[in-house]
Amino acid sequence: MFSYPQDRSCPYQPSPGYQELGRGGPLHKVSLWDGRSIWMVTGHATGRKLLADPRMSADRSRDDFPVVLPRFEAPIFKPIAIIGFDPPMHDVHRRMLAPDFSLKHVREMRGEVEELTGRLVDDMLRKGPPADLVEDFALPIPSMVISQLLGVPYDDHEFFEAKTVGLLQAKDAAGAQAAGQALWDYLDGLIGAQGQAPGGEGVLGRLAGRTDDKDLSREDLLRIALALLIGGHDTTSQMIALGVVTLLEHPDQLAAVRSDPDVLPAAVDELLRMVSVTDVSGVRVATADIEVDGEVIKAGEGVLVSSSMANRDPAVYEDPYTFDVHRGAGRGGAAAARQHLTFGFGIHQCLGQNLARMELEVAFSTLVERIPRLRLAVPVGDLPSRTGGTMQGVHRLPVEW
């Protein structure tokens, strides 16, 4: 049986094994590290259907929830706020956070993000090449933004960035739990301080005084803060890094972005489709038998929707393995370009997608404008890529100009 996960051989394309699997239909049985078999969805329509089905549970505290990697056995992951709860608790918490991630609020933040991004480029140019685009640019942008949004001191960024990597890249449950517990204790201290001095900034300042409410316990807020801190910087930083790699490897598409800045929003969604840094639109467990595509997913069976493969479904995308920044051009094109499942689908669709898109637009536009001769300092094949998991990325991105 096909084993999951498998490493990529190209930073912006699915593994050859996933591509072979996708050619065989939209739904497949795969084997996990612990010998358990689950359903892997590679079809776009099937993925959307299952992610929107109320009989599919996202509750990671369930005994039958699939453990995709050893690190996810750690108690810190059971459950994860927002993405790891079912209604009604999921809906309650999501409503609490909606104002912070609304399109209106994100637009209000854009000027500050542009200023920040400009300063980072100034620093890179002042130091001169070579540079590590992860450390000098891709990571500081989302780290500073999520720090401000949450009310977490950016002075502590080296700590929470390192612990996030430790949590998300751990080889086993013990390593993940150690890193996760350090983040938990850190956030617990911040929430305690906010509770004693109400009126603080960010999500923590706004919600710390509400932990006596029936809908928000202190543990709930801790899980929310942990999910937002982790999800708010690691995936976006890697999306910036791998997005730059993708653009540099397609000079004709980079030239199209440079010549017409109006194409940038569509280009960002095409990059999100191609790169799919999380590689997974959602992991679920069926709570009842579900018939789909001529198969029966039985109650208690796990399901994993592959974003990287659903985003290449030829029934939805013409030449799906081709990077085309004009894919969303023309009337109705923006809506079509956003059909990708990189942010998931259904009630658990990524809360921070407006923020992520804005950060990506600002990051790419700034680099294209300010460093027109940017290039990789090493061959793509020599980039130190993440392996052995579902979170794609590079540990470093050496560049020069």
* Predicted confidence (pLDDT) per residue in 271-307, tens digit: 999 999 999 999 999 999 999 999 999 999 999 999 9
Distance CA 168, CA 240 (A): 18
CB neighbour burial string for 205-229, b if at least 16 within 10 angstroms, e if fewer: bbbbeebeeeebeeebbbbbbbbbb
What pTM was computed for the model?
A: 0.95
Distance CA 26, CA 197 (A): 53
**Span 141-165, average pLDDT:** 95
**Span 21-42, average pLDDT:** 96
pLDDT at residue 272, as a whole number: 97
Q: Which of 57, 55, 59, 21 is nearest to 40 (CA)?
A: 21
**Span 86-98, average pLDDT:** 93
Q: In the structure, what pLDDT confidence band is assigned to residue 212 with cuts at 50, 70 and 90?
A: confident
**Residue 199 pLDDT exceeds 80:** no
pLDDT tens digits, 314-333: 999 999 999 999 986 655 55
Q: Which of 17-26, 78-87, 144-153, 340-349 has the lowest mean pLDDT?
A: 78-87
DSSP class of 80: -
Distances (CA, A) of 299 to 41, 47, 48, 56: 17, 17, 19, 9
Average pLDDT, rounded, for the chain = 94
pLDDT at residue 333, as a whole number: 55
**Span 111-139, average pLDDT:** 98
Q: In the structure, what pLDDT confidence band is assigned to residue 31 with cuts at 50, 70 and 90?
A: very high
**Residue 173 pLDDT exceeds 90:** yes
Q: Which residue has the higher pLDDT, 191 or 211?
A: 191
DSSP secondary structure, 131-156, as one string: EEHIIIIITHHHHHHHHHHHT--GGG
pLDDT tens digits, 374-393: 999 999 999 999 998 999 99
**Residue 87 pLDDT exceeds 90:** yes
pLDDT at residue 334, as a whole number: 57
pLDDT at residue 361, as a whole number: 98
**Span 9-33, average pLDDT:** 96
pLDDT at residue 214, as a whole number: 80
Q: Which of 71, 36, 83 is nearest to 301 (CA)?
A: 36
**Residue 98 pLDDT exceeds 90:** yes
**Span 57-76, average pLDDT:** 96
Q: In the structure, what pLDDT confidence band is assigned to residue 196 with cuts at 50, 70 and 90?
A: low
Q: Which of 253, 260, 303, 304 is nearest to 274 (CA)?
A: 253
Q: In the structure, what pLDDT confidence band is assigned to residue 94 with cuts at 50, 70 and 90?
A: very high
pLDDT at residue 79, as a whole number: 84
Q: Which of 77-86, 192-201, 321-330, 367-376 has the lowest mean pLDDT?
A: 192-201
Which ranges of 36-156 would DSSP assign to H, the alpha helix?
A: 44-51, 89-97, 103-127, 133, 140-150
Q: In the structure, what pLDDT confidence band is assigned to residue 208 with cuts at 50, 70 and 90?
A: confident
**Residue 73 pLDDT exceeds 90:** yes
pLDDT at residue 201, as a whole number: 78
What number does CATH give the domain 16-400? 1.10.630.10
**Residue 269 pLDDT exceeds 60:** yes
